[in-house]
Amino acid sequence: MIKKARFSDIEGIQRLINHYAREGALLPRSLNELYENMRDFFVWKEKGKLLGCCALHISWKDLAEIKSLAVDRKVRRRRIGSRLLQSALSEAKDLGIKRVFALTNREKFFKRNGFKKIKKEKLPHKIWGECIRCPKFPDCDEVAMIFLIDN
């Protein structure tokens, strides 16, 4: 059910992400951005329908970010989000990445999945490039969470 995204998944990924973006829970993603970053994405599909997505975006030689983690509301509570997240963390480990972070307003979810809260200032300035596009900027309500990988 979990696989790497394909070109045919991109419009479904965009619909799912932008649904949550309209609610202020995620940043919106353009088709162009999704096509350019398609290889970052894992998807969860059932009977041909895309029900979840999660991206692992490499930021630096030992640092990656979890982005655009979204699951269709109809299938919540089935641990699809956790499974997608674990796939991304497994890939990070395979790549030799030591730290994976997330900027989120779902602190409990990430904590249940092994992440720890950190001060945003501990992350490199490079990662704040998308923040300027956020409608909440500069009054961000997200917390920084980090997962340390034992390679």
Closest residue by Cα to residue 113 from 102, 123, 124, 122: 102
Contact predicate 100/147, CB 8 Å: yes
Query: 4: which residues sit within 8 A by CB, 6+ positions away?
Result: 39, 41, 42, 43
pLDDT value for 90: 98
| Domain 2-148 falls under CATH 3.40.630.30 | yes
User: What phi and psi, each to the nearest 5 degrees, are found at residue 60?
Assistant: -160, 180
Q: What is the pLDDT of residues 89-115, one digit of tens each?
A: 999 999 999 999 999 989 999 999 999
> What average pLDDT does the segment 61-80 reach?
93
pLDDT value for 77: 85
Does this model's pTM top 0.85? My answer is: yes
Q: What is the pLDDT of residues 28-70, one digit of tens each?
A: 999 999 999 999 999 999 999 999 999 999 988 899 999 999 9
pLDDT value for 150: 86
Q: What is the pLDDT of residues 1-33, one digit of tens each?
A: 899 999 999 999 999 999 999 998 888 999 999
pLDDT value for 100: 97
Q: What is the pLDDT of residues 122-142, one digit of tens each?
A: 877 555 566 556 566 556 667
pLDDT value for 48: 92
Q: Which residue has the higher pLDDT, 119 or 110?
A: 110
